[in-house]
Amino acid sequence: MFDKQTYISRRKALAEKMKSEGGIIVFLGNVDAPAQYSNNPYKWRQDSTWLYFFGIDEPRYAAVLDIDSGTETIYADDADIDDVIWNGPTPSVAEYAATTGISRTASYRDLEMAVGMAQCSGRKVHTIPPTRYYNKIRLSQLSIWEPSVPLVKAIISMRLVKTPEEIAAIDAACDLGREMHVRARKGIRPGRIEQEIVGEMESVALSKGWGVSFSTILTQHGEVFHCHDHSAAIESGRLLVIDAGVESNCHYASDFTRTYPTGGKFTPRQKDIYDIVCDCNNAAFEMIRPGISYREVHLAISRLMLERLSCLGLVRGNVDDMLSQGVAGLFMPHGLGHNMGLDVHDMEDYGEDLVGYDDDQKRSPLLGLGSLRMARRLVPGNVITDEPGIYFIPALIAKWKEEGKCSEFINFSALESYRDFGGIRLEDDVLVTEDGARRLGSRRLPIESREVELAMEADLAGN
Amino acid sequence: MFDKQTYISRRKALAEKMKSEGGIIVFLGNVDAPAQYSNNPYKWRQDSTWLYFFGIDEPRYAAVLDIDSGTETIYADDADIDDVIWNGPTPSVAEYAATTGISRTASYRDLEMAVGMAQCSGRKVHTIPPTRYYNKIRLSQLSIWEPSVPLVKAIISMRLVKTPEEIAAIDAACDLGREMHVRARKGIRPGRIEQEIVGEMESVALSKGWGVSFSTILTQHGEVFHCHDHSAAIESGRLLVIDAGVESNCHYASDFTRTYPTGGKFTPRQKDIYDIVCDCNNAAFEMIRPGISYREVHLAISRLMLERLSCLGLVRGNVDDMLSQGVAGLFMPHGLGHNMGLDVHDMEDYGEDLVGYDDDQKRSPLLGLGSLRMARRLVPGNVITDEPGIYFIPALIAKWKEEGKCSEFINFSALESYRDFGGIRLEDDVLVTEDGARRLGSRRLPIESREVELAMEADLAGN
């Protein structure tokens, strides 16, 4: 939790932005989410928007900000003796409220009355879209049926630009994320079960942070983006994609991807594709600066990728035509990157287009570009991922071939021999600075193909 | 997943038990539970009842069993091309259904129609109480407002008695749980942060199992039962309670508790209390056999505890009177144990009294005994925990003292010096056999005070 002045200033800035709207803003913190049964919840995780404006990391909290009068009220209940026995003594609601600079408190159930009174007197009631199913139920109990677009836009405008204390928190998360990736890399040996490596690496996240910022992707089927099956044994000669991040104890995320040759050395064919992805990652980073839109960067990287795939004979023809027809989407059906902060895809539940697109930008229907989560013109303080990838997805290739889609550009017969190749993705986290960009974390994970092989050689030697 | 015959037999047995009720039974599997935002879920965990009757470990599945006609239908949707790109190729619904011995399948949304038709024709629609918030919403969409007590009772009667394949699965979970505890014990050193040890031990659960079966309790404040704050440094001379379990890859739980002297040696005072708890654990195990009720065992252990605390001068007077007045609850405000299986508190959401109490048993209002989750007369196949504890809870002692509660029995002034003692709990998992009991897992974790000290000595020596 930051200093209480941080939260006071954020709420003040938000109220200022919402002044012309008027009314009240209702914030719902999370409650525990049942895993096996109601009283056996998943690890406690507070709502990110709540963390941003209040910082109180406890379940069953809510708040109302009255835009017109400026009053702020926390709704929560003090622990009773049973809570003390089972969960230990905790600060009172008033004490927690004081840590975020609020003096008015009321019972959690009083929220109904506060919202009801505002509704009865015809005032606007603003909320963000609920993330958790419990909060969906809670909002319907409060008769709040629609999120407030002005509120969502106001919060996006704030959270998209990270403050120095947030950047420090993300740097720390990235350092821990790097440590987790190094631990994973050291565990790669043919014959081991993927799950064993996942458990080892996640212990870094759990020992020093909240845990992983999303379910770890560790797979020899890199062509499957969100592969969470870790039952396979590591086979020699394959590529292992590790896309994983930590969430720090103060709940900021990291998100890195590296792709390793399972035996420590790339085959020439693997190296050819790997180097394209690596060059795309570096080229994107070089382009990142205030003023450029991330859509432009995505397109430039798609162009570079197609040019290089053309040299390998996998595509052919005019690159401009290929770009406009969406050929790049066959190889990289996802976007170049997303915003990152308290959420690994920051604010995703606010609506991807509201978060990632300027008012004058429209989302493309093309595969790949259409999945771009962050297209905006960059401003200093943006924190984004740079994660190009090349994949050979048998089902997708078969579909395009069957449909004759872009067949003038794609060398389907050459692609045949890539059927078992898998996929490669390389991802760094990047801060947009006043005059360019900086990779987050104090050291970059090895990424150049030669550098990766040397690191794996050193791992094997036990260094 | 077990052989499909297992699931066919279980459903057949259930339909038989429900024959006189008639109508249909609706089963809802889980969907993903959002953590940070909707598309960043917590680690996937299927509903336990669904696992028991169907075994299909995939989200967004439902089923209807028609008790009268015997037809069984799975409701779920096949993956589309986007799913294949993002999540990889998966078996079809028909293929999954075949693994559980069902041939009729329909779309997930068709469930509405199936339930609606049964309701329109006045047939009974049976469900269990929903655990997850999403399934609460889903049941209200289906206009199912009340769980079915006959259904719940029928399932309890089945799940309370573990079959040989379940017992083998629990034994394996216990072996892994033991390995996790040993890893934790080896990490105990004054100066280390508790969270570091938690991360190390949980890597065992993640590397070889689904993960932990509940949020790990690892605390020098053993008097707080569910202490999940791990930010403290290990201090010499304290007691560290570790209450933790794994959930195996086939989703059966283990649940062990050990209490360690942080410096490797118990103080004489710690040893006095520790040995009482250890003797209570052993005495409970000796009593466990078919026919005895676990309520009787709880009471016998409470008696033993009071007798021993009386020798230490912490209580005084007639033990029968103390028992009936609930004096034991001051020291052990929880029950002796609970059922364990697919859930660590097995079936808890069915209702604790339905699960843990025979029809002729009534729950006590006393502190401690009133928290007993398993009171039933034991039968072979029951899997229960044996987890006595002694705690010195400052807030609770202060409350009783202030209220003068049981003041004729309790030596409040002697308790003063135990204010910083903390608490001790020792827990094993036990199977009720034909002629007695067997501790689950192939080896018991060291538990006798001398044995624990020797193990910690060996840990320090690096053995």
- Summarised one tens digit per residue, pLDDT across range B414-448 is 999 999 999 999 999 999 999 999 999 999 999 99
ipTM of the prediction greater than 0.90, yes or no? yes
- Residue among A364, A360, A431 nearest A160 (CA): A431
pLDDT at A391: 97
Count H helices and E strands in chain B, helices first.
17, 15
Chain B interface test: which of A137, A139, A194, A203 (most B C-beta within 10 Å): A203
pLDDT at B463: 66
Please tell me which of the candidates A195, A207, A347 has its beta carbon nearest to residue B200.
A207
Which residues neighbour A305 within 8 Å (Cβ) at sequence distance 6 or greater?
A: A276, A280, A328, A331, A332, A388, A390
3-class secondary structure, B400? helix
The residue assigned the tokens 């078969």 is A398
pLDDT at A458: 96
A235 to chain B, minimum CA–CA distance in Å?
18
Rounded Cα–Cα distance for residues B348 and B451 (Å): 34
Alpha helices in B312-389 (DSSP H): 319-325, 328-331, 352-356
- Residue among A432, A281, A298 nearest A361 (CA): A298
Asked if A196's CB is within 8 angstroms of B207's CB, the reply is yes
pLDDT at A463: 66
Question: What residues of chain B lie within 8 A of the CB of A42, using their CB?
Answer: 33, 35, 42-43
pLDDT at A362: 96
Sequence-ordered strand ranges (E) for B283-403: 383-386, 389-391
Count H helices and E strands in chain A, helices first.
17, 15
pLDDT one-digit tens code per residue, B294-331: 999 999 999 999 999 999 999 999 999 999 999 999 99
pLDDT under 50: residue ranges of chain A: none
pLDDT at B229: 84
Q: Which residue of B has its CA nearest to A38?
A: B131
Positive or negative: CA dihedral A412, A266, B90, A257: negative
- One-letter amino acid of A129: P
**Under a CB-based contact definition with an 8 Å cutoff, are residues A288 and A301 in contact?**
no
Centroid of chain to Cα B65: 28
Give pTM, 2 decimals.
0.95
Asked if A199's CB is within 8 angstroms of B131's CB, the reply is no
Chain A interface test: which of B50, B203, B373 (most A C-beta within 10 Å): B203
Q: Give the pLDDT means over successive 10-residue stretches in chain B (463 positions).
A: 96 98 98 95 97 97 98 96 82 97 97 97 97 96 96 98 98 98 97 97 97 96 84 96 97 98 97 98 98 98 98 97 97 97 98 97 96 98 98 94 97 95 97 98 98 97 80
A209 to chain B, minimum CA–CA distance in Å?
9
Question: What residues of chain A lie within 8 A of the CB of B345, using their CB?
Answer: 37, 39-40
Which residues neighbour B185 within 8 Å (Cβ) at sequence distance 6 or greater?
A: B242, B258, B260, B455, B456, B459
Q: Which residue of A has its CA nearest to B349?
A: A37
The conformation of residue A317, written as its DSSP 8-state character, comes to S
- Residue among A66, A128, A78 nearest A102 (CA): A66
Which residues neighbour B407 within 8 Å (Cβ) at sequence distance 6 or greater?
A: B400, B401
Using alpha carbons, list the distances in angstroms from residue B136 to B28, B30, B124, B347.
10, 11, 19, 17
Q: What value does the CA radius of gyration of chain A take, rounded to a whole number of Å?
A: 24
Asked if B228's CB is within 8 angstroms of A44's CB, the reply is yes
